[in-house]
Structure formats: structure tokens, C-alpha cells
Amino acid sequence: MVGRSWLGGVAAIAALLALGGCNSKPAGSTAAGAGVAKKDFTIGWSIYTGWMPWPYAQQAGIVKKWADKYGINIRVLQVNDYVESVNQYAAGKLDGVVATTMDALTIPAAGGKDTTVLLIGDYSNGNDGVVLKDGRSMADIKGRSVKLVELSVSHFLLARGLELNGLKLADVKTVNTGDADIVGAFASPSVTAVATWNPQLSTIRATPGATEVFDSSKIPNEILDTLNVSTETLKANPNLGKALAGIWYETMAIMARNDATGRAARAAMAKAAGTSEASFDDQLKTTHLYARAQDAVAYAENPDLVTVTDRVRQFSFAHGLFGPSAKSVDAIGISFPGGKALGDPKNIKLRFDPSYMKLAADGKL
């Protein structure tokens, strides 16, 4: 879960909002051809367990196969820094990007870029956790300083863990710590609590005397990873959505195979992620992939999606991640299947659209 944090996004939001608030169009949005019929598209990705199928699909020729079928060209581009990839998408330099729904909401949507959640990919099912020294449960965290990447999914995880155990964020002190520094920080005798993600979490959890007291498996679907595409670009180019859905579900089917082909695919993903096959397989165990289109569609239409998205938006607004012009948690509208919505229905900027997943589920791609 390398670099999935919001700190870089806060600056992006400020820049976008300076152009006119939540209803403004982000600078450079025409660079990606928003609303224009075209042939060439770029999708950004960064290293994380659930996103490694994308570079594999490109390497294996699956991207080209589906792009050719629909007469378009798709470039799957690695951006080394996760937040930068979301910022580039928000600025119109990418047609789509893989991101958590939290970041899709607080960076592009909060900055005024109308974004469609095209594919629900996975949720963290233990890839994120809270670890203590000299503690056996979340109750033991009260009064401690907690090292984490502030305003990140780790911060959200901590808040949820406290809430579910009858505590509040005010019961601890958070100390902003870069993800690259958190393993070293936990090695210090003075540091007794951290919240972080894999692969750092695996290293910290293995430290003698360390106990993981809460993890993301306790909040299923709340740290949700998705493929997000410009709504305007998608409306003008529906074949892009069809090709991306075809790419994803063909790759999922290969990845799930328990034969030489499946093992080779997972090995290639591990290599692209810069980790060992064993480590990658361990991370897959704590990543709930929506490998079947039918399952992804079912969750997109489940009322639980509205419930967990509401938790995410409440946390985001409370921590200023909607930007200075947002006067309430309802400033940004979020739409769901079946005509459901959260926030301002006149300012919908994040849309959960299962229509392309349904095409895949029905074998109509």
C-alpha cells in the first residue's frame, strides 16, 4: 500500500479551489480531452497490491487486445508517487487513475473534477493496521502518541478503530510520520503506537513485543480501491469504459488461476511491485479483490456502499479535506446506483456507475 496518503492532495485541492471553489473546473482539464471523442487515453497507476494487475495486463498484451477491439489506444502509465498520480488526474493530465474512493473524493471531486468510479477493484482486508508495544487491545492506546501519515487512510483507520472501541481521536495524539520513516520510528523505545499499511505493517508487526490491535478487516469496504475516470471523457468515449472493464476482468481471471499461467501472472506482478512472490501472495491474502464482475456489481448496488461512503465523507470534511470553500459535509454530491445520493444533488462530482461492470458480468463486452 505504498504511499496511499492525502498530504500531497491537500495542496492540490487548495490550488484547484483557488480557481473557483467546489464547482470549478480543474486547471488543465482539457489536456486529457475531457468531453471530446478521441482515440488515445492514458490511465495512471502506482504500486499497490490491488493495482498490480494493470501493469501485468499491459505487459501480457491484454491492454492492447481490448483497446484494438474498440479501435482505441490505451497507455497504462506508472506514476512513482501515488498522490502525484491522483493530482495528475485531477489536473487533466490523465484520463483515469487507480485510487481509494477517499482520495477520489478529496482530491479531484473536491477540486471540481466530475469523476466516475468505473470499476470497484478491492478493499483492504488487513493491509492496514494499528500496532502497539506493551498493549493487548485498542483500549491500551488511550493517552498515547500515535505515529502515522496524518490525513491518510491510516488516520481514517485509527479513527474507526477508536470509534468501534468506545474511544475518540481526542483520546490520542497523532504525530505525522512519513511512510518511509515509520518502521525506523517504531524501532525507537519512545514510540509505542503506530498506524500504517503494508509492506511496512508486516515489518512492524513482526517486531518483538509488538501487537496488532486493530486492522482494516474489521471495516470491510471502507478502504476501497477503484478505477476512476473523467466523467466527461467517459461520456464522449464509452468504448474506453468497455475496454477497461474487459482488460480488468480478463486479467482477474488469469490471476485467479491455480496453474502455471496464474502463478506466472502473480510472479510478474510481484516483480513489478518490487517484492518477492511469497510477499506478494501474503499481501493478496489481506486484499479482498472483487475478481468477478458479478460480485463488484452486487456491491455497487448494496446499500452498504452508501453507508461506508458516508463515513468517509464525514471524516474527510471534519478534517478539512473538502477545501476551505466547503461549508458543510454536503458541499460535494456523490451519486450511487438506483438514484441514491449523498450531498448536494446539484453538485455531483463523484459517481458510482456499475454499467460497465454489468456489461462484463453479462458477457456483453
Ordered DSSP codes for 136-165: SSGGGGTT-EEEE-TTBHHHHHHHHHHHHT
Question: What SS3 class is residue 204?
Answer: helix
Start-end of H helices in 60-149: 62-69, 82-90, 101-104
pLDDT > 90? residue 152: no
The chain-wide mean pLDDT, for the chain, equals: 91
Are 246 and 125 spatial neighbours (Cβ–Cβ below 8 Å)?
Answer: no
- Predicted confidence band of residue 31 (pLDDT cuts 50, 70, 90): very low
CA 176 – CA 167 distance, rounded (Å): 20
Using one digit for the tens of pLDDT, what is the confidence trace for 176-185? 998 889 999 9
Question: What span, in angstroms and rounded, lies between the C-alpha atoms of 269 and 263?
Answer: 10
Residue 23 has pLDDT above 50, yes or no: no
Quote the pLDDT of residue 9.
Answer: 46
The model's pLDDT over 115-126, given as tens digits with 9 standing for 90+, comes to 999 999 999 999
Angstrom CA distances, 180 to 2, 3, 104, 269, 275, stand at 9, 9, 23, 22, 16
Number of residues in the chain:
365
Q: How confident is the model at residue 16 (pLDDT cuts 50, 70, 90)?
A: very low
Output the pLDDT for position 83. Answer: 85
Per-residue confidence (pLDDT) for residue 198, from 0 to 100? 87
**Structure confidence at residue 336 as a pLDDT band (50, 70, 90):** very high
Q: Are 354 and 339 in contact (CB under 8 A)?
A: no
* Band of residue 109 on the pLDDT scale cut at 50, 70, 90: very high
Q: What is the pLDDT of residues 205-218, one digit of tens each?
A: 999 999 999 999 99
pLDDT of residue 82: 87
Specify the amino acid at residue 338.
G
C-alpha to C-alpha distance for 121 and 253, rounded to whole angstroms: 13
**CA–CA gap between residue 334 and residue 280 (Å, rounded):** 34
Is the pLDDT at 13 greater than 50? The verdict is no
Model confidence at 24, pLDDT cuts 50, 70, 90, reads very low
CA distance linking residue 258 with residue 88, whole number of Å: 37
- Strand 128-133 versus strand 333-335 pairing type: unpaired
User: What pTM, to 2 d.p., does this model score?
Assistant: 0.88
Q: Collapse the DSSP code of 155 into the 3-class scheme (helix H, G, I; strand E, B; otherwise coil) and give the result.
A: helix
Interior angle at CA 153, CA 147 and CA 158, nearest 5: 55
Q: Look up cell 483515469; give the residue.
A: 96
Would the pLDDT of 15 be above 70? no
Query: Does the structure show a pLDDT above 90 at 151?
Result: no
Distances (CA, A) of 337 to 21, 53, 116, 127, 324: 27, 26, 12, 28, 29
**What pLDDT is attached to residue 11?**
42
Better-scored residue on pLDDT, 2 or 67: 67
Residue 12 has pLDDT above 80, yes or no: no
Judged against a pLDDT cut of 80, whether residue 169 lies above it is answered with yes
SS3 121: strand
The grid cell for 141 is 492506546
pLDDT score at 28? 34
Cell of 363: 458477457
Q: Read off the pLDDT of residues 228-280 as tens digits, 9 standing for 90 and up.
A: 999 999 999 999 999 999 999 999 999 999 999 999 999 999 999 988 999 99
Mean pLDDT of the 277-289 span: 94
- State mean pLDDT over 62-82: 96
Is residue 33 predicted with pLDDT exceeding 60?
A: no
Measure Cα distances from 42 to 28, 70, 75 in Å.
15, 15, 5
